[in-house]
Structure 1
Amino acid sequence: MKPFRFQQFSIQQSKNVFRVGTDGVLLGALCSLSSPKNILEVGIGSGLISLMLAQRESSAKILAIDINSEAIELAGVNFRNSPFSDRLKTKFQDFKNFESDEKFDLIVCNPPFFEENNSDKDILARQQVELNFENLIEKSSQYLSSEGVFSVIIPSFSADEFVNLAMEYQLNLVRRINIFGIEGGSLKRNILEFSLASKDVEILDFTIEKSPRNYSEQYLQLTKDFHVFGK
Structure 2
Amino acid sequence: MKPFTFKYFEIQQSKDVFRVGTDGVLLGALADVEKASEVLEIGTGTGLISLMLAQRNSNASFLGIDINEEAVLLTKMNFEHSPFHSRLENIHQDLKTFKTEKKFDLIVSNPPYFEESESDKDKLARQTIELNFQQLIEASARLLSGYGILSVIIPVEAGSNFIAIALENRLFLKRKINIRGIENSKTKRLVLEFSFTEEAVQESDFVIEKSPRQYSDQYLELTNEFHVFKSRS
Provide the C-alpha distance between the structure 2 equivalents of 1:152 and 1:114, rounded to a whole number of angstroms.
15
Residue 92 of structure 1 corresponds to which residue in structure 2? 92
Residues 70-149 of structure 1 mapped to structure 2, 5 A cutoff: 70-149=70-149
State the Cα deviation string for residues 81-126 of structure 1 (Å, max 9, x = none).
0000000000110001111111000000000000001111000000
State the 4+ residue runs in structure 1 displaced beyond 6 angstroms: none
Aligned residue for 1:113, secondary structure, equals coil
The answer to whether the Cα contact below 8 Å between 2:34 and 2:56 also exists between their aligned partners in 1 is no
State the Cα deviation string for residues 185-230 of structure 1 (Å, max 9, x = none).
0110000000011121100100000000000010000000000005
State the Cα deviation string for residues 40-71 of structure 1 (Å, max 9, x = none).
00000000000000000000000000000000
Shift in CA distance, 5/23, structure 1 to aligned 2, threshold 3 Å: same
Residue 41 of structure 1 corresponds to which residue in structure 2? 41
Provide the identity percentage. Answer: 58
Residue 200 of structure 1 corresponds to which residue in structure 2? 200
* Equivalent AA in structure 1 for residue 45 of structure 2: G
Aligned residue for 1:203, secondary structure, equals strand
Aligned residue for 1:99, secondary structure, equals coil
CA-atom RMSD, angstroms?
Answer: 0.9
Provide the C-alpha distance between the structure 2 equivalents of 1:109 and 1:96, rounded to a whole number of angstroms.
15
TM-score by length of 1: 0.99
Give 1:34 deviation, angstroms: 3.4
Aligned residue for 1:16, secondary structure, equals coil
Residues 1-231 of structure 1 mapped to structure 2, 5 A cutoff: 1-230=1-230
Provide the C-alpha distance between the structure 1 equivalents of 2:202 and 2:118, rounded to a whole number of angstroms.
38
Number of residues of Structure 1 aligned to a counterpart in Structure 2: 231
TM-score by length of 2: 0.98
Aligned residue for 1:8, secondary structure, equals coil
- Long gaps (5+) in structure 2: none
- Long gaps (5+) in structure 1: none
* Equivalent AA in structure 1 for residue 25 of structure 2: V
